[in-house]
Amino acid sequence: MPGRFAIAIFLCSLTLHAQTPAPPPRPLAVSNAVVYINDAYCSDAQNVRIVIDDDDRVPYPLTGSGQERTVITPGYKFDATHSKASLYFGDMHTDCVRAEPDWTNRRAKFVFNRCSRKAVRNITIRSSQLIRISYFRYLPAGDPGTVPCHPRASFFSNDMPPVEAVRDQDEELVLQLDFTKPLPDRDGLRLSAILRVVEGAKKGKRVALGPDRIVEVLAVQRAYGTSAPPTFSSLAIDLDKQKMRELNNPRLELDITYLKREQR
Amino acid sequence: MRLRALFVLLLAGSAAAQQRALFDVDDFVDPRQHDVPLFSSRLVIGGAWNFVDDYRPANEDVGFVHVANSFYVRNFQFDYKHSEVLGEDPPPLHACACDPPIYFPTPPPRDATPAAPPAGSRNTLQAAWYVPVGGEDRIPVMLRYRLTWSRQAFDVPVTAPQSDDVLSRRSGREQTFGLDGDVYVPMFGRYGYGSFQYAKNSRRGPVEDRTQQELVYTSRPPGTTWKGMLFRATLSVGAVSDRGGTAINMINPYFEVFLHERTTRANFHLVWSPQFLNSGARGWETTHQIALFADRALLLKLVR
């Protein structure tokens, strides 16, 4: 009997604990940050840019050199207690880290302990039709202290700027055609599926995707089970075809350029 | 080692389990693919060798015509499906001149696999709910949970033992109530998809009543592609009641080749689905079910 009583108290305490989460930290809106790059492999690099809060359109340049650098984001305030950031080094893209607040100097602090050695490539996308193309990138958490993030952007142009330093192994790039803004909870045309289906894409050649090819890639994605159980849904194929017709049968050209192979 | 390999196969394989008919094509549509309600009507035509109806071999080759009407709104899907299975006419029952009458051929014993219902028409209603599941580090996956109710009526002529004169007709009906749901489970360090199905099938007549319950797990590994065709292999394992014995008595690998033909907008399916069924009376038996069929949309309407 006492045993049961003890178990009941334990369960009650667990429930109470679950119902009283720790209060969120007080926000600190800032527009400047100090950035530490603690990996000798990349700490001397020049032209380093930072993406804050997943906005891939506006990478801000870092100033200074060596391990400690700074960044100012004119006109944009972000939360120094919660924002995420990653660094572009031209042929490198780091994992994302969470900001730490520097209350004394009222600024954010981002600490990058490791630069990615993974193979990367730039993806340039051109469309035959003027359609809105959004994209988001799924960067999983890698080394300890890093967090998953989804840098994203949207363009309404036939010739959008390249998507930079997309990692070969662990990153997924998702193109969303005719999306007014990128929606990371929805699927789209995945780079991994294009590489699997379209001949030459893996070797870094320029590849063309007509409407039928786009529909085929999407069907392969569903068969592979990328965001739902594997399915050969005929209706889903018909829906994709209808969507292509509504977009006046766009033709995409992808330039997949390897910038760097895997480093050890 | 062999046992381990079998275990891996059981977990990593999957099957479009036979609670739904072999020719009931995939109708999974991720709600994220359409912002407005969607209505679709689809025709499926084809044939199957060694047709198996709900884990009961029909011991015949059949043709089939199937029309699936589906309505998708937000995270819900509603279907009305009608299928016609075209096979040989059921053999007449012979009744002895006794009281109560005895019918020949006698139905399979209680510990044997029941006979499949005669080929005929079947109506099915379904309601499904799509649920997104997922975390921050990947696109949420969409799983589906579905209720199915189907009904089939049939009648069989009764003749005198020594003649072909039809004395009467005995009618029967069969209905199935089923639940199935997708799962997304960690497996060997990665995530994999599967489905659970439960179904209760009740048949009344024409000579005897039988009820079977089915609990089946289907493992659904990724498909693959080659030369524009899609391939998949699945594996179902389960227990089907009312045929003697307990525990796992159904193993069903399933292999499908799928081709979407761009010009006609038809989809072609080639399926090989061997079913290994165990019954108390006859032990393990294998039926190699092979089907070839095509489907095409009759109507596709986005309700804007």
Cβ <8 Å between A141 and B28:
no
Q: Which domain holds residue B216?
A: 2-302
Report residue B255's pLDDT band, with 50, 70 and 90 as the boundaries. very high
Question: What pLDDT is attached to residue B7?
Answer: 38
pLDDT of B160 higher than 90: no
Nearest to A230 among B27, B138, B232 (CB): B232
Cβ <8 Å between A148 and B269:
no
What are the residues whose beta carbons fall under 8 Å from the beta carbon of A73, sequence distance 6 or more? A31, A32, A33, A52, A60
How many domains does one find in chain B?
Answer: 1
Query: Looking at beta carbons, which residues of chain A come within 8 Å of B26?
Result: 231-234
pLDDT, greater one: A78 or B15: A78
B67-93: pLDDT as tens digits? 999 999 999 999 999 999 999 888 788
Query: Looking at beta carbons, which residues of chain A come within 8 Å of B136?
Result: 148
The minimum CA-CA distance between A1 and chain B, rounded to whole Å, is 38
Question: What pLDDT is attached to residue A103?
Answer: 93
CB B142 within 8 A of CB B78: no
Q: How many residues does chain B have?
A: 304
Given the structure tokens 């739904």, which residue do they identify?
B20
Taking residues B213-227, report their average pLDDT: 94
CA B254 → CA B175, B219, B257, B292, distances in Å?
25, 11, 10, 13
Q: Which CATH number belongs to the domain containing residue B11 in this structure? A: 2.40.160.40
Report residue B14's pLDDT band, with 50, 70 and 90 as the boundaries. very low
By DSSP bridging, strand A189-190 and strand B62-73 are unpaired
At A106, list the tokens: 């009222």
Mean pLDDT for all residues in chain B? 89
What are the residues whose beta carbons fall under 8 Å from the beta carbon of A263, sequence distance 6 or more? A117, A118
Strand, helix or coil at B207?
coil
Given the structure tokens 């849904």, which residue do they identify?
A233
Neighbours of A147 (CB within 10 A): 17
CATH 2.60.40 intervals, chain A:
29-112
Taking residues A93-97, report their average pLDDT: 94
Angle ∠(B133,B136,B139) on CA atoms, nearest 5: 55
Report residue A15's pLDDT band, with 50, 70 and 90 as the boundaries. low
Question: What pLDDT is attached to residue B189?
Answer: 76
B16-29: pLDDT as tens digits? 444 568 899 999 99
Cβ <8 Å between B265 and A241:
yes
Q: Is A140 part of the contact surface with chain B (CB cutoff 8 Å)?
A: yes
Domain A29-112 CATH (choose: 1.20.58, 3.30.70, 3.40.50, 2.60.40):
2.60.40
B105-143: pLDDT as tens digits? 888 888 899 989 989 999 999 999 999 998 667 789 999
Distance of CA B279 to the CA centre of its chain: 19
At B81, list the tokens: 């499906």
Q: List, as ranges, residues 196-255 from A with C-beta within 8 Å of B.
A: 196-197, 212, 216, 219-220, 223-242
Nearest to B295 among A216, A231, A234 (CB): A234
Report residue B188's pLDDT band, with 50, 70 and 90 as the boundaries. confident
Question: What pLDDT is attached to residue A1?
Answer: 46
